[in-house]
Amino acid sequence: MREQGRLVLAGAPIGQVGDVSPRLREALESADVVAAEDTRRLRRLANDLGAEIGGRVVSYYDQNEAARAVELLESLKDGRTVLVITDAGMPGVSDPGYRLTSLAVEAGITVTALPGPSAVTTALAVSGLASDRFCFEGFPPRKAGERSRRLGALAAEERTMVFFEAPHRLEAALRAMAEAFGPDRQAAVCRELTKTYEEVRRGGLAELADWAAGGVKGEITVVVSGHVPDEGPPDIDELVAEVDRRVAGGVQRKQAVVDVAKESGMAKRELYDAVHRRSPTP
């Protein structure tokens, strides 16, 4: 039985070359096959890192990904180490890599990664929005109708959402988001992350769309806050219990009703009637 190889997914810089894993130089030199989204960018990166690519270099991009993945799988089955690297960020995240990874996992081949920069988590971190729960939605559909339907389906999403978008479609995307999520939904547009002209604009979606109308350049990542569900009407039993607690603490019942009604937003008369029914005055 022939020994199987290893698939390595390598994170590429999204701006600064120094942000990549120190192990990337060694991996580029030792891999038997390097599959690159853009072979010219790969060679520039290798030059910047002072690396000599030791193996065979092949292109691996959207248009040839399906066929190339099958070819690369055979190299893995022959015991070779295959390194996949895209133009920026981690392979498989809105970039080629998923198909080959899936085939390798199915074939029982070892899959590992050289962690590296990610526009998704970098934008999330600098956005100032909640980051404890989030989802990545990739690029919104280009066609207006499909985009509206996709965003409409996300209107009730409570997690912070991260999108990629092309600069020339940014205004249209932000206006569609404002329509689907509300004009005041808070968001951040992150442009040219880690690069010389890095910029982060924060505000409501309608405000950001107006800003984008002036023209935007560069790589764009959009972070949008999640939906905050309506808490609904206050629970009457809890409010009555709170009135009782305050009365037990020495507050006059009438004053307790006034205070609790004001704090909860419930009509004073409605709360008074509920208190009287459940805790009638002797």
Other residues' Cβ atoms within 10 Å of the Cβ of residue 249: 8
Which residue has 């935007």 as its token pair? 216
With 0.85 as the threshold, say if the pTM is over it: no
CA dihedral 202, 204, 206, 212 (to 10 degrees): 0
For the chain, what are the domain ranges? Answer: 6-117, 120-224, 236-278
Residue 203: strand pairing partners: 187
Which pLDDT tens digit goes with each residue over 57-104? Answer: 999 998 999 999 999 999 999 999 999 999 999 998 888 999 999 999
- Please give the structure tokens belonging to residue 57: 């270099």
Which pLDDT tens digit goes with each residue over 165-187? Answer: 999 999 999 999 999 999 999 99
Statement: residue 281 has pLDDT above 60: no
Strands (E), the chain: 6-10, 33-36, 56-59, 81-85, 110-114, 134-138, 160-165, 186-191, 199-204, 220-224
Which pLDDT tens digit goes with each residue over 6-20? Answer: 999 999 999 999 898
pLDDT of residue 2: 60
pLDDT of residue 264: 79
Q: Just give the CATH number of 120-224.
A: 3.30.950.10
pLDDT of residue 95: 86
Backbone angles phi, psi at 143, to 5 degrees: -75, 140
Please state, in angstroms and rounded to a whole number, the distance separating the CA atoms of residues 88 and 194.
12
Which pLDDT tens digit goes with each residue over 124-167? Answer: 999 999 999 999 999 999 999 999 999 999 999 999 999 999 99
The CATH architecture of the domain made up of 6-117 is 3-Layer(aba) Sandwich (3.40)
